[in-house]
Homo-oligomer: A and B are copies of this chain.
Amino acid sequence: MKPRITIGIDIGATTIKAAVVEFNSTEDKFCILSQKIVETRALDGPDVVIKQLFYVINEFLNENKQCDFRGIGIGTPGIVSLDRSTVKNPPNFSGWSEVNLGEVIHKKFKLPIIVENDANTAAIAEAKYGAGANYNDFIFLIWGTGVGGGIILDRKIYRGPTGGAGEIGHITIDYNGPVCNCGNRGCIESYIGQRYLSERTRKKLQAIPKDYPPSKIIELAGDNLNTIDPSIISLAAKRGDKLAKEILLEAGTLLGIAIASMFNALDLRVAVIGGGISASGKLVFDAIRSSVQSRALKSIKPEIIIIPAKLGNTAGMIGASTFVL
């Protein structure tokens, strides 16, 4: 039996993570044989990003000359064309409107290349090998800088007519809400995406109620409110900080509203949530659960499952790899 060895790449706004991934014959198990991380250099334009990709792929091919690679799977921000080759408008990438990444890389390495949106690659990894493995249908969310998503229907990723599906972060939860990066008002992302959450935390710290103890958030931020990010809020909450707990509780409750809308419209019951902030654990997940529970339709309520993702940072690379097989 020929080994099923692939290269899986996850292009992020700051780093490119890449791995050589081997799958067993039934594809129900995988093994990461080696990993590399290089800078993406997204602000230097697509040519530089492609050079970085060439570099990391070359390294893997040179180090594993005896291997018969099946192909290269690539997860990337932005909308990926239906033929899984061209990447459109990845946010925070300079000078990049539309690049046929699949073609460029195939030309260089003569291997099959599959490109897919990064939330979708992570979703499919969780569906096959992670927290979603027991469920045919679920919503996958990455809660980090933004709120990205992937929709798994009948064990497959739902890509939509142009490949852009899964933008769960841009579901409105309050039409009079804050202006979102996308131009709309009151998207769930505009409440709980990293930048917005940090900003709201700063405001709350400035108006902290008199009966509250001094917030551990300030201590952890080294007295510089500009350094506040969700990991600091999570840490403060874990150390018992009242305000930090309230902020995470509210964020979870708000996310639950968007999830309930999706559950109701699509008849779903399961959400798998990954990304940095979701690591804050039980407090946040309990808040999400009770919010979805109070808002979902009667037929859905008894079967709601909200669980953390399992594969963490590797999900993107593994998911990208599975598309190759």
Which residues from chain A sit less than 8 Å from chain B, CB to CB? 79, 88-89, 136-137, 149, 151, 153, 158-168, 170-176, 182-186, 254, 257-258, 260-262, 264-269, 294-300
B174–A174 CB distance below 8 A: yes
CB contacts (< 8 Å) of A299 on chain B: these are 79, 88-89, 162, 164
CB-contact partner of A265 in B168, B174, B296, under 8 A? B168
Alpha-carbon distance A267/B149, docked complex (angstroms): 12
CB contacts (< 8 Å) of A266 on chain B: these are 151, 158, 160, 165
B182–A297 CB distance below 8 A: yes
CB contacts (< 8 Å) of A297 on chain B: these are 164, 167, 170, 182, 184
Alpha-carbon distance A162/B171, docked complex (angstroms): 23
Q: Answer whether A265 and B172 are a contact pair too, CB < 8 Å, given A297-B182, A299-B88.
A: no
A161–B268 CB distance below 8 A: yes
B267–A160 CB distance below 8 A: yes
A175–B254 CB distance below 8 A: yes
CB-contact partner of A160 in B137, B258, B260, under 8 A? B137
CB contacts (< 8 Å) of A153 on chain B: these are 158
CB contacts (< 8 Å) of A79 on chain B: these are 299
CB distance from A110 to the nearest CB of B (A): 32
CB-contact partner of A172 in B176, B268, B295, B300, under 8 A? B295
Alpha-carbon distance A254/B298, docked complex (angstroms): 24
CB contacts (< 8 Å) of A161 on chain B: these are 136-137, 267-269
Closest 6 A/B residue pairs (Cβ): A160-B267, A165-B267, A164-B267, A170-B264, A171-B261, A184-B295
Alpha-carbon distance A8/B299, docked complex (angstroms): 27
Alpha-carbon distance A88/B267, docked complex (angstroms): 14
Considering only CB atoms, which chain B residue lies closest to A168 in the complex?
B265
Alpha-carbon distance A182/B166, docked complex (angstroms): 26
Considering only CB atoms, which chain B residue lies closest to A256 in the complex?
B175
CB-contact partner of A151 in B170, B258, B265, under 8 A? B265
CB contacts (< 8 Å) of A88 on chain B: these are 299
Alpha-carbon distance A168/B260, docked complex (angstroms): 11
List 29 A-B pairs, Cβ < 8 Å: A79-B299, A136-B161, A149-B265, A153-B158, A158-B266, A160-B266, A160-B268, A161-B269, A162-B299, A165-B265, A166-B267, A167-B264, A167-B267, A170-B264, A170-B265, A170-B297, A171-B171, A171-B261, A171-B264, A171-B265, A172-B173, A173-B175, A174-B176, A175-B257, A182-B297, A183-B294, A184-B294, A261-B261, A265-B265
Considering only CB atoms, which chain B residue lies closest to A295 in the complex?
B184
Alpha-carbon distance A53/B277, docked complex (angstroms): 55
CB contacts (< 8 Å) of A264 on chain B: these are 167, 170-171
Alpha-carbon distance A260/B175, docked complex (angstroms): 11
CB contacts (< 8 Å) of A166 on chain B: these are 265, 267
Considering only CB atoms, which chain B residue lies closest to A88 in the complex?
B299
CB distance from A136 to the nearest CB of B (A): 6
